[in-house]
Structure 1
Amino acid sequence: MTTTDADNTESAGKVRLPRGAVRSGERALTPDLARGLMLLLIVVSNTAFHLWAARHGPSGWQPVDGSWADRAAQFVMITALDLRVYPLFAFLFGYGMMQLYLRQVEAGASERAAVGILRRRSLWLIVIGLSHATLLMAGDIVGYYGVLSLVLGWLFVRRGERALKWWIGIAAVQLVLFAAVPVVTALLRGELGSLGESGAEPGSEAYASGEENFLAALGTRLTTGLFVTFVGAPFALVGGGYLVFLLGFWAARRRVLEEPGLHLGLLRRTAVGGIAVGWLGGLPAALAHVGALKVPDEAQSEEGALTILRDVTGNAAGIGYVAAVALFAHWWTHRGPGRPSGWGGTAVVAVSAVGKRSLSCYLAHSLMFSPLLAAWGLGLGEHLTSATMVLFAVGVWLVTVAGAYALERAGRRGPVETVLRRLAYRT
């Protein structure tokens, strides 16, 4: 049905109402499994911001002290996680949006009604995200993606595959130009090593992790949350940061994650190439952080050359991670008859259960992190290191896995998903 057809139907008084939310039997394994694993990567990558008593490096992200185990944890996170998990989140977010839209239209809802659901969902995500940022975790990304989805859903969700491909190319050019211009300018001036500013404040300060007064911490988190949501998101639109979002739109139209068996060649190339590019792009920053590569502090700063390289290549890594999960899901569902699942089957079901309740589990992380780690809470972040914080983060994720699995066995949705669906679908 075209937009014109939908409008004519509505004007005739025969409005086709949107169908309800997706039912359990309609779900594909890959998106849910990818979201469940994504939350593990997110909770681990956020650990550095809760180490408020540690001495941080030039970028303000990772600490620069600790034992060999701490240095190993920092090296792995800079190479494989930092600025690599958010593109993974963006791809899955865009994929889910397009899934929702296509499902509504295929069920007979008008395009206008389907877009209306997406619009209401985006607006409520902004509300949820800002509340989360203010009360618990300033680096919230739900509100950030709420703003992006509000704009991109309006502009692109009804566009065809050809138009999406054109805009994916435009976004890629934007991304490369915004990354390359400062680097090339500094290179021509012979100042590449001094690109950026050393001595950035630790990210934990923007999170107010070390603030003992809860109200003062709340004000800092609100300021950071507003900046991330209403400055960071528009900047992503200008700088091509919506590229991975549109790739998710395109992949959903091709049902790449629902039917990975039809796209094995694409998935293999994306997994190998994307992860290789992403890890190689993060390697110089990781080597510099542990002292194996001598570069100026400015190059390691948030606007420095190594961080720009790590940021741009992070998009490839995020897509590569999704492709790798899709390949695993295809293998898992085609293992052949007669092979017992055992603990492996339970683990896949449990992690997928987290993916089905990803928003509830994401917010639950902060409910366990902030009151225990922040100075205004129990203050445990003062005593943990990079390595022990990773263990703590994995433990938090496992708690959400157990909770999601219990809800799955009981046939219940996540509490936040339930509320959001009622608000978006008006049921």
Structure 2
Amino acid sequence: MSTQSGPTGLSERALGPDLARGFMLLFIALANSHYFIAGHEYFSGFPTAGSPVDHVVGLLISTLVDGRAFPMFGVLFGYGVAQIVRRQRESGNDWWPIRKLLWRRSLVLVVLGFLHAMLLYVGDILAAYGVLLFLGVWALRWKDRWLFVVATAVLVLTALPSGDTLAGSAEGPDPSMLPATFLGQFPDRLVVQPFIAGLGWIGFVTPFLIGLWAGRRRILERPAEHLTLLRTTALLGLTIAILGALPVSLVVGGVLSRPSDHAVTVLGPLHDAAGVFGGFGYAALIVLIAHRLSRSGGDRQGRVTVAVAAVGQRSLTCYLAQSVVWAVVFTPYLLDLSDTLATTTTALLAVATWLATVLLADRMRRAGYRGPFELLIRRITYQPRTISDTRSRNSGSRA
């Protein structure tokens, strides 16, 4: 008879993955917020008009953040799935019940992502990750070489020339992002959201599969055993990400003139593909930092480190909290600051929003509270199986 293994307790969690998730949300805030800025001409989601400071900030975000935050999210997502699988297998559960558990989790992400897109932020990625998880459960038993083969193949395909890339986007905010009325937002979003959820997961396949592989070996939880790999990944990953971003980011920064449309179809996908390596590099770098802090003892970690890790432990709640800010600040029927804020001030808003979630998460940590959406997804994911197991145990006792 199998036993139920629930989610990892907060006291049992490794610092590295949580710290990476915490900083990841800063990158996501910077990556998402600039797409709300109104202007007349755009390149790669940034208004081409602006002050010299705006151009510098845009260059830094395009180089270090855009297309680099979400791959790190994908790596950590795959890593988390591998953790769930390992705990379930160690508890004696078979593969089919584990798949059903993960499918419940994917359904929660799809439904929550749909509501998130309809009410707050149409650029939601939760539903796309739900679709990815629903399909990705079939990769749980793949051998390592197949994880790498498929991950490489998908990366190569997504790096091929294409006009469908955010990195080369010459358009401003989509009408569904800035609806004029509350009820008027639903028709546009009902069209856009299924497209994002149905196709958006493709770009996350590579980091998800690599995250599964890393999770099998507990690389982020046991960095002392994989220091050479982590250091190499951090150095090469970030180098590739920065060099691959420069053709686009230098245009954003006003250093280079806008390339031709044909050149954008080549440079845009390369910018995004290089960002996948940046996601690997950031995850490795932050885990190495966490390892150094952990070796120095709890006092060395400090309140800031613990607070950022608390964000990582409540990443879903903090991610949704960011969308509340974007909706209030930018939506035309609320504060309507899309025309007022520029690249620099929007970046400051993103940092301030992330800092607010750090304070919120740390307060929940001190209160011993996981976070409302973390509790929701765990309750739905694990509760049905717990009830089933309880009934089975009771039936066995009566027999």
Q: Is 2:173 aligned against 1:204?
A: yes
Counterpart-to-counterpart distance in 2, 1:173 and 1:151: 17
Of stretches 281-290 and 134-143 in structure 1, the one that deviates more from structure 2 is 281-290
Post-superposition Cα deviations, 1:65-104, rounded to whole Å, max 9, x if no partner, equal 1111111111011111111111111000000011011111
Of 107, 112, 118 in structure 2, the residue corresponding to residue 128 of structure 1 is: 112
* Separation (CA, whole Å) in 2 of partners of 1:243 and 1:315: 8
Residue 55 of structure 1: aligned partner: 40
1:346 matches 2:303: yes
Structure 2 equivalent of residue 116 of structure 1: 100
Which residue, 84, 87, 97 being the options, matches 2:81?
97
CA deviation vs aligned residue, 1:134-156 (integer Å, no higher than 9, x gap)? 11101111110110011011x11
Secondary structure, aligned partner of 2:307: helix
- State yes or no: 1:166 paired with 2:146: yes
Distance 1:33 1:197 in 2: 27
Shift of 1:221: 2.5
Paired residue for 2:256? 293
Output the CA distance in 1 between the equivalents of 2:335 and 2:221: 44
Letter in 1 for 2:362: Y
- Structure 1: stretches of 5+ with no match in the other structure: 1-13, 184-193
- Residues 134 and 219 of structure 1 are in contact (CA less than 8 Å); yes or no, is this contact kept in structure 2? no
Which amino acid in 2 is paired with 1:328?
I
**For residues 192-341 of structure 1, what are the structure 2 equivalents within 5 Å?**
202-209=171-178, 211-233=179-201, 236=202, 241-299=204-262, 301=264, 304-335=265-296, 340-341=299-300
The structure-2 alpha-carbon separation of the partners of 1:203 and 1:151, relative to structure 1 and needing over 3 Å to count, comes to: farther
- Aligned match of 1:369 in 301, 326, 329? 326
1:234-277 CA deviation, whole Å, 9 max, x = no partner? xx1xxx75111110000001110110010000000000000000
Q: Tell me which residue corresponds to 2:50.
A: 66
Q: CA deviation at 1:340?
A: 4.4
Superposed displacement of residue 289, structure 1? 2.5
Residue-by-residue CA offset, 1:261-297 (whole Å, 9 max, x unaligned): 1000000000000000001000111112333223534
Residue by residue over 1:116-173, the C-alpha shift from the partner in whole angstroms, topping out at 9 and shown as x without a partner, is 21110011100001110111101111110110011011x11133xxx23223223313
Q: Deviations over 1:315-363 (max 9, x none)?
A: 1001000000110011000126xx844xx61011100111011001100
Residues 34 and 347 in structure 2, CA contact (< 8 A), matched pair in contact too: no
Query: How many residue pairs were aligned?
Result: 384
Cα–Cα, structure 1 residues 207 and 322, in superposed 2: closer, same or farther, change >3 Å?
Answer: farther
SS of corresponding position for 1:215: coil
Q: 1:296 to 1:20 in 2, by over 3 A?
A: closer
Q: TM-score, normalised by structure 1?
A: 0.85
Distance 1:74 1:261, change over 3 A: same
Counterpart code for 1:327:
L
Q: CA deviation at 1:25?
A: 2.3
From the superposition, tell whether residues 280 and 203 of structure 1 become closer, same or farther in structure 2 (CA, over 3 Å). Answer: same
In the alignment, what sits opposite 1:80? 64
Shift of 1:20: 1.9
What's the counterpart of residue 4 of structure 1? none
Amino acid at match of 2:141: R
8 A contact 1:285–1:300 mirrored in 2: no
Shift of 1:24: 1.9
Greater Cα shift, 289-298 or 258-267: 289-298
Could you say which residue in structure 2 is the equivalent of 1:146? 130
Using the alignment, how far apart are the partners of 1:412 and 1:353 within structure 2?
A: 10
Q: Provide closer, same or farther for how the CA distance between residues 295 and 373 of structure 1 changes in structure 2, counting only shifts above 3 A.
A: closer
State the secondary structure of the residue aligned to 1:46.
Answer: helix
Counterpart contact for 1:197–1:298, Cα < 8 Å: no
Check whether the contact 2:85–2:98 (CA below 8 A) recurs between aligned residues: yes
Are positions 1:22 and 2:11 aligned together?
no
Amino-acid identity (%): 39
Instruction: Please give the alpha-carbon distance, in whole angstroms, between the structure 2 residues aligned to 1:123 and 1:196.
Output: 27
1:358 matched residue in structure 2:
315
CA RMSD in angstroms comes to 2.3
Q: Which one of 362, 383, 386 corresponds to residue 405 of structure 1?
A: 362
**Structure 2 unaligned blocks of 5 or more:** 387-399
How far apart, in 2, do the equivalents of 1:218 and 1:195 lie?
Answer: 24
**Distance in 1 (alpha carbons) for counterparts of 2:101 and 2:363:** 29
TM-score relative to the length of structure 2? 0.91
| d(CA) in 1 for partners of 2:66, 2:41 | 15
